Amino acid sequence: MPRRLIGLAVLLGLFVSFAAAAEPFAIDLEVHSGKASKTAHAESAAPDAKPAERGVLEIKAGDRVTVQWKLNAADKAKHEDVTVHFFAVKEEQPGQPAPPKLNKGVVAESALTMDFGAEAKNEGELTFTIAKPGSYLFRLETIGAAEGLDGHEDFAAIDVTAR
């Protein structure tokens, strides 16, 4: 019986190690406008990952929007030259599966490249207005964090509807 428990513990340890390696970053993305707010957390951009349903924040066109994010290294590995990329872009409808191209309809964008060691973090805040009514995707993503053939990027996303 003790051998089975040891074997189970080893398997559980391998699973936990694999899960931690699969998600190198913890992301919190928060959007505020007036008293309304929504928060999203990290998701995987792996090809086989099913995207979670995004929260929708409704605002008035012309109101100020404040976006805050926290991105923390969740593993002990060193990740070099990772781009932390935020954008807010007009989309056809809330919840559309693929992000729109960033060649038109971008209302805000920010990017920086940094190295992440164990427990490194990045925090940011942007305030801007959305002048025109419509649906917008707010997304914070990593670029360049994926390692190996099975690597993937992490992101957090919220839909904003301006009326």
Give, for all 163 residues of the chain, the pLDDT tens digit: 555 544 444 443 434 334 444 467 899 999 999 999 999 998 876 666 666 788 899 999 999 999 999 999 887 788 889 999 999 999 999 988 888 999 999 999 999 999 988 888 999 999 999 999 999 999 999 988 776 445 568 899 999 999 9
The residue written with tokens 């924040």 in the block is: 57
**Using CA of residue 19, residue 24, residue 26, residue 27, what is the dihedral sign?**
negative
Task: Tell me the domains of the chain and their CATH numbers.
Answer: 24-162 (2.60.40.10)
Through-space distance between the first and last CA atoms of the chain, rounded to whole angstroms: 63
* Residue 31, helix vs strand vs coil: strand
**Number of CB atoms found within 10 A of residue 153's CB:** 19
* Residue 22, helix vs strand vs coil: helix
What span, in angstroms and rounded, lies between the C-alpha atoms of 111 and 39? 20
